[in-house]
A and B are shown apart, each in its own frame.
Chain A
Amino acid sequence: MTGQWNWRAVKLVSALVYVSMFVPLLVVVVNSFHPQRMASFPPSSLTLHWYGEFFADQMLLDAVWMSTKVGVATAICAGAVGTLSAMGFVRKQFPVKKGLVIVMLSPMLVPPVIVGLASTMFFTELGWERSILWLVTMHTLIALPYAFLIVRSRLFLFDESLEEAAQTLGADHLTTFREVTFPIISPAILTAMIISFVISFGEFTATQFWVSRETTTAPVVIYTMLETLITPKVNVLATLVLVITIAIPIAGMALQRWLASPTE
């Protein structure tokens, strides 16, 4: 009996956690259709007015486009570097390997505000101007530990006799990677890329140090808009950011299922 009550309590608490997570998101989405500038909740009617305004605002569109570009580039860079470093850490033996793993993971451990501040001071000292390249570099650094961990855990499970089999059949190291290793670990690499994209797309705390007028990203714009001019367009932007960060992983999972189908 108590077991059943405990189980109900667990369910109730879980439900409360999810409600408190999703209701605020829902408010933002609903308010993006709100007819009044000063939103009262719930709205009396719904309108697409602010969407029209949003898509007429070049500055906002540029920010979303910038975030998308940086996110895609980060996904590619973190995916590639994460895969290569995971291969090295799993397959090769070298001194101070354990210590270097902590170095690899450190961007995950250092508070983003410190990463933002420190890198800005450093790059400024070097005379590097804020640019999209700067953003991609730093976002890759922030996403890299996640990409690394995801690919590494897949490689731990990888049966190396498959690679040996390929070699005895005449495949050199590069061909073995292309024909055997890569196709088998590609779902993990894809996951790493999706996570990297989502991290990059939503990163705000450190990113605010790195953007210039030309390279401002969606999360930074949302913050700036709230500080300066209160316009419901910010709800539209927030909704859009939300939709993209949910849609990309779902699309990724679908792609993954399709990729993995023969081996299931």
Chain B
Amino acid sequence: MTYLHIDNLTKRFGNLTAVQDVSFSVDEGEFVTVVGPSGCGKTTTLRMIAGLEEPTSGTIRIDGSDITSLPAYRRDIGVVFQDYALFPHKTVFENIAFGLKMRGEDEQTQREAVDEMLEIIDLEGYEDTYPHECSGGEQQRVAVARALAFDPDLVLMDEPLSNLDKKLRQSMRTELKRIQAETGVTTIYVTHNQTEALSMGDDIAVLNDGQLQQFDDPKRVYREPEAPFVADFLGQSSRVDGVLETPSRVDLGDGNSVAISERDGFTPGDEVAVFLRNELVSIATEQPSTGNVFEGIVTELDYQGGEVNYFVDVPSLDISVQVSTVVSQTDSFLEAGMDVWMQIDPSDVIYTRIDDQSRTEVSPAEAAVEQ
């Protein structure tokens, strides 16, 4: 059942269009991640939903009622800010109880709600501490509790984990999902981190340049990207452009082609971008007998312990392909300068139609690199 409805949301700052015609719907109890490089409009979208930014046009509806023109303080939407924005002069109790106090709830109700929240976030006994006395992870959880305590219609989180170190981020990710499942609150979670977006979202909205590129569940977004940007942004891959020759083969020029598995909505003659995912390409010194096979030369290897990344030049396609392989204790390594064969199954080849906008696109890979 559709709960949150966003319709043609647009925000212009002077000549700059930060968000353009973004529409999507979220079901009740769903956890949606909004992902994209910095400056893609994801935070602006979130701020419009929260009521902290006025949309230039478009509507926002919750449970059927239009909230577009309501001020933030009349919206019943909890927000977890990137820097937490805990009130420094108030205790953990006063912070968490603030939303209830604003709604005129009595002491007793506040006490019960805060106790319940502290139990959920596992910070019992922290009532009288001040935010500055809490660690980063604890502050983060207090911020989540404050946004949830007044039983909001919707919770918005703006890169809530970006200020934490990598280990803590990992565990907080699980923690946030657990809290969301426990409270069942509809959540929109903004991040620039692709792993976070894929692992946490029931659905993912991929934004670029203020436009919604795709809104789908994580597996479909990863496996059947609808725009070159989506394929490029999520995951590590190498891109080659070509033209669809038959429904199951792409002509890559210069007599090269790649077999693909057929998908609806494509017709021969379509210009497509082909993506070879690093982890789906295998590498061997003997010529493989099946699948798409390319000849290449190893230029570099990047040893990362459990896995090795090989950088392989493919002269026929004029690209450099990265191949990630898991290595066991006894595996030997390929060396730079070696001639190798690379193989990828037709069903593992990802391809998308090229639209006019994405033809001149620069690689968003830098923005996508996990911090």
In the complex, whether B253 has a CB less than 8 A from a CB of chain A is: no
The CA of A175 and the CA of B73, in the complex, are separated in Å by 10
Q: Is the contact region of chain A dominated by helix, strand, or loop, or is it mixed?
A: helix
Kindly provide the distance from the CB of B141 to the nearest chain A CB, expressed in whole angstroms: 15
- What is the CB-to-nearest-CB distance from B208 to chain A, in angstroms, rounded to a whole number? 25
A255 vs B278: C-alpha distance when bound (angstroms): 63
Instruction: Output the residue of A161, A168, A175 with the most chain B CB within 10 A.
Output: A168
Bound complex: CA A169 to CA B76 (Å): 7
Q: Which among B22-30, B84-92, B159-167, B363-371 touches the partner chain? A: B84-92
B77 at the interface (CB under 8 A from A): yes
**1/0 per position for B72-83, CB-CB distance to A under 8 A?**
111111110111
Contact A184 B52, beta carbon cutoff 8 Å? no
Q: What 0/1 pattern do residues 175 to 188 of A give for CB contact below 8 A with B?
A: 11001100110000
Asked if B87 and A170 sit within 8 Å, CB to CB, the answer is: no
Is B260 an interface residue, CB under 8 A from the partner? no
Residue B11 interfacial (CB < 8 Å) = no
Say if the beta carbon of A165 comes within 8 Å of chain B.
yes
- Whether the pair A262, B85 counts as a contact (CB closer than 8 A) is no
In the complex, are the beta carbons of A168 and B88 less than 8 A apart? Answer: no
| Chain B residues with CB below 8 A from A184, complex form | 87-89
Given A167-B73, A168-B75, A170-B150, residue A161 in contact with residue B89 (CB < 8 A): no
> A263 contacts the other chain (Cβ, under 8 Å)?
yes
Closest residue of chain B to A171 (Cβ to Cβ) is B102
Do B83 and A166 have beta carbons less than 8 Å apart? no
Q: Does B359 contact A (CB under 8 A)?
A: no
| Cα A183 to Cα B150 with chains together (Å) | 23
A113 at the binding interface (Cβ < 8 Å): no
Smallest CB gap from B89: residue in A: A183
Asked whether, in the complex, the Cβ of B98 is within 8 Å of the Cβ of A263, the reply is no
Determine how close the nearest CB of chain A comes to the CB of B173; give it in whole angstroms. Answer: 22
Query: Hey, which chain B residues are within 8 Å of A172, CB to CB?
Result: 71, 73
- Are B99 and A159 interface neighbours, CB within 8 A? no
Residues of B within 8 A of A170 (CB): 73-74, 76, 99, 102-103, 150
Name the A residues within 8 Å of B91 (CB-CB).
262
Q: How far is the CA of A168 from the CA of B82 in the complex (A)?
A: 14
Interface centre among B98, B132, B146 (most CB of A within 10 A): B98
Residues 135-185 of A contacting B (Cβ, < 8 Å): 159, 161-162, 164-172, 175-176, 179-180, 183-184
Min C-beta distance of A93 to chain B, whole Å: 12
Q: Is B222 an interface residue (CB 8 A)?
A: no
A66 to B87 Cα, complex, angstroms? 41
B126 at the interface (CB under 8 A from A): no
A168 to B: closest C-beta gap in Å: 4
- A162 CA to B99 CA, complexed, in Å: 13
Contact status A164-B72, CB under 8 Å: yes
Contact of A165 among B71, B79, B150 (CB under 8 A): B79
Return the chain A residue nearest B158 by Cβ: A161
Tell yes or no: B113 within 8 A of A by CB.
Answer: no
Q: Are B83 and A161 in contact (CB under 8 A)?
A: yes
Whether, in the assembled complex, B273 has its beta carbon less than 8 Å from a beta carbon of chain A, the answer is: no
CB-based contact B146/A169 at 8 Å: yes
B74 contacts which chain A residues (CB < 8 A)? 170
B102 touches A180 (CB 8 A): no
A167 touching B52 in the complex, CB below 8 Å, given contacts A162-B85, A172-B73, A183-B89:
yes
**Which of A162, A168, A264 is close to B72, meaning CB atoms less than 8 Å apart?**
A168
Q: Is B89 a contact of A169 with CB atoms below 8 Å? A: no
A114 to B370, CA, bound (A): 63
Cross-chain contact A175 with B51 (CB below 8 angstroms):
no
- Docked pose: A264 CA to B89 CA in angstroms: 9
B266 at the interface (CB under 8 A from A): no
Output the residue of A164, A170, A176, A263 with the most chain B CB within 10 A: A170
Q: Judging by beta carbons under 8 Å apart, are B79 and A168 in contact?
A: yes
Please give the distance in Å from B96's CB to the nearest CB on chain A: 10
Is the C-beta of B50 less than 8 angstroms from some C-beta in chain A? yes
In this complex, what residue of A is CB-closest to B81? A161
Residues of A within 8 A of B89 (CB): 183-184, 262-263
Query: In the assembled complex, which residues on chain A have CB atoms less than 8 Å from the CB atom of B86?
Result: 165
**B87, A162: Cβ atoms under 8 Å?**
yes
Least Cβ distance of A116 to chain B in Å?
41
Q: Closest B-chain residue to A165, C-beta based?
A: B85
A-facing mask of B125-160, CB < 8 A → 1, else 0? 000001010000000000000110010000000000
For the complex formed, measure the closest distance between the CB of B152 and the CB atoms of chain A, giving whole angstroms: 9
Q: Is the CB of B85 within 8 A of A161?
A: yes
Measured between C-beta atoms, what is the minimum distance from B212 to chain A in Å? 24
Binary contact readout A14-41 vs B (1 if CB under 8 angstroms, 0 otherwise): 0000000000000000000000000000
- State A167–B81 Cα separation when bound (angstroms): 12
B-contacting residues, A103-152, CB 8 Å: none
A164 to B146, CA, bound (A): 13
Q: Which of chain A's residues has its CB closest to B98's CB?
A: A169
Contacts beyond the supplied A170-B76, A172-B71: 14 A-B pairs with Cβ under 8 Å: A162-B85, A165-B79, A168-B77, A168-B79, A169-B78, A170-B73, A170-B74, A170-B99, A170-B102, A175-B102, A179-B98, A184-B87, A263-B130, A263-B132
Q: List 16 A-B contacts (CB under 8 A).
A: A162-B87, A164-B52, A164-B79, A164-B85, A167-B52, A167-B73, A168-B50, A169-B73, A169-B150, A171-B73, A171-B102, A175-B102, A179-B87, A179-B98, A263-B88, A263-B132
> What are the 7 closest A-B residue pairs judged by CB atoms, nearest first?
A170-B102, A165-B85, A169-B99, A161-B85, A167-B72, A168-B79, A263-B88
Q: Point out residues on A near B: beta carbons under 8 Å.
A: 159, 161-162, 164-172, 175-176, 179-180, 183-184, 262-264
